[in-house]
């Protein structure tokens, strides 16, 4: 309508309906941009990043003295790791840094198989599953107060990586 009125030499006016269409298109574009940004952010999440986040939730009382001393360096290293073998080593290190008392009773039955699987992991999908298994077998009393709040988002990120 606006282009037609300009061609005919008439003054161009934007009607209320046209304004609503423009506003709706802008909102749709903004929403789409937000979804793309969210997807890119999720794509940038690595198992290493999640290992780091989980380590941050573990109480110092659940960790060995040696692991506690190097915990922040461990988290920094894990956060920047995307390589499967390197992440596998970090996941093993985290498990080894947890005291036996930090685990549920079920852990003793699956620990050896879990450890072997982590060592031989070749994909991000496998590591995501092994991290999830580890998180499910740490006694909740050794996890931060906000763990229950962030757990659904954390698990959703793991599930996305495990696809």
Burial letters 116-134, b for 16+ CB under 10 A, else e: ebbeebeebebbbbbbbeb
- Ordered by start, the domain boundaries in the chain are 46-161
User: Residue 103 and residue 123: Cα distance in Å, rounded?
Assistant: 25
pTM for this prediction: 0.72
pLDDT given for residue 17 in this prediction: 53
SS (H, E, C) 68-89: HHCHHHHHHHHHCCCCHHHHHH
Q: What is the pLDDT of residues 97-127, one digit of tens each?
A: 999 999 999 999 999 999 999 999 999 999 9
User: Residue 78 and residue 117: Cα distance in Å, rounded?
Assistant: 19
| Structure-token pair, residue 72 | 């922040």
pLDDT given for residue 162 in this prediction: 86
If one counts every other C-beta atom within 10 angstroms of the C-beta of residue 98, the result is 21
Rg of the chain on CA atoms, in Å: 25
Q: Which residues pair with 95 in a beta bridge?
A: none
pLDDT given for residue 140 in this prediction: 95
3-class DSSP state of 103: strand
User: Residue 93 and residue 35: Cα distance in Å, rounded?
Assistant: 35
| Structure-token pair, residue 15 | 């009607």
Per-10-residue mean pLDDT for the chain, 163 residues long?
48 54 48 42 71 96 97 96 93 98 97 97 94 96 94 93 87
pLDDT cut 70: percent of the chain above it: 73
Q: Which residues pair with 58 in a beta bridge?
A: 143
User: Residue 35 and residue 51: Cα distance in Å, rounded?
Assistant: 25
């Amino acid at each position: 309508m606006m282009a037609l009125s300009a061609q005919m030499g008439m003054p161009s006016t934007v009607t209320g309906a046209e304004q609503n269409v423009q506003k709706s298109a802008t909102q749709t574009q903004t929403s789409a941009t937000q979804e793309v940004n969210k997807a890119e952010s999720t794509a940038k999440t690595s198992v290493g990043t999640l290992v780091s986040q989980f380590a941050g939730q573990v109480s110092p009382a659940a960790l060995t003295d040696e692991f506690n001393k190097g915990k922040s360096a461990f988290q920094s290293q894990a956060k920047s790791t995307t390589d499967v073998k390197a992440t596998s080593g970090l996941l093993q290190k985290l498990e080894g840094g947890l005291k036996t008392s930090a685990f549920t009773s079920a852990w003793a039955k699956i620990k050896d198989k879990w450890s072997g699987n982590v060592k031989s992991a070749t994909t991000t999908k496998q590591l995501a599953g092994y991290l999830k298994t580890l998180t499910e077998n740490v006694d909740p009393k050794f996890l931060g107060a906000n763990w229950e709040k962030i757990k659904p988002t954390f698990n959703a990120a793991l599930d996305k990586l495990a696809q």
